[in-house]
Homo-oligomer: A and B are copies of this chain.
């Protein structure tokens, strides 16, 4: 007879919080910002809309945290990729590794990345500013790697850095529309090929 509920403890508050964030990322990736209601998020993780307020002060706080976690994931993926390079890696090798990692996250694989790419320009201006701030604080970003590559003379001095960034970021955002189910190749192979194209463009 089950006389105590302590035997099988409920998921801790932090675990449930994380489950809510995961559910929000999934729904946001699938439906976009406007079409995502608290009811959808709650259903996705088996709870009630009102319960979300125990974990987050408002809908936009929840969305914002999903976006900040996405920035973290992109940042970590790029940093890992660059760190894992062999010792003699050139500036362009580093740029390439970061771009490849960014693309791989975006190929409809990671809910946070796909949500980020999809809803970035659907958000209230104030939130967008906060997210942009977090993005700018990422230690290893595309802008810095691009600048380093140019300084090292590994891409043409005439390449416009602003255009190069738009090219890379725009492609990354659009890339999460890729339907990987309809393609035989691995996400890694696809991002590798796209990276080659992008690098050829800015060289």
Q: Are A169 and B174 in contact (CB under 8 A)?
A: yes
**Beyond A33-B34, A201-B197, A201-B201, is A174–B166 a contact (Cβ under 8 Å)?**
yes
Using A34-B122, A200-B200 as known contacts, say yes or no to A175 and B170 having CB atoms under 8 A apart. Answer: yes
- Do B32 and A197 touch across chains, with their CB atoms under 8 A apart? no
- Give the number of residues in A that approach B within 8 Å (Cβ atoms): 34
29 contacts between A and B (CB under 8 A): A32-B122, A33-B34, A34-B34, A122-B122, A160-B193, A163-B190, A164-B197, A166-B174, A166-B175, A166-B194, A167-B167, A167-B171, A167-B194, A167-B197, A167-B198, A169-B174, A170-B170, A170-B171, A170-B173, A170-B175, A171-B171, A171-B174, A173-B174, A174-B174, A197-B201, A197-B202, A198-B201, A200-B201, A201-B201
- The verdict on A163 contacting B122 (CB below 8 Å), with A173-B173, A175-B170 known, is no
Question: Which residue of the partner chain B has the closest CB to A160?
Answer: B193
Q: Does A118 contact B (CB under 8 A)?
A: yes
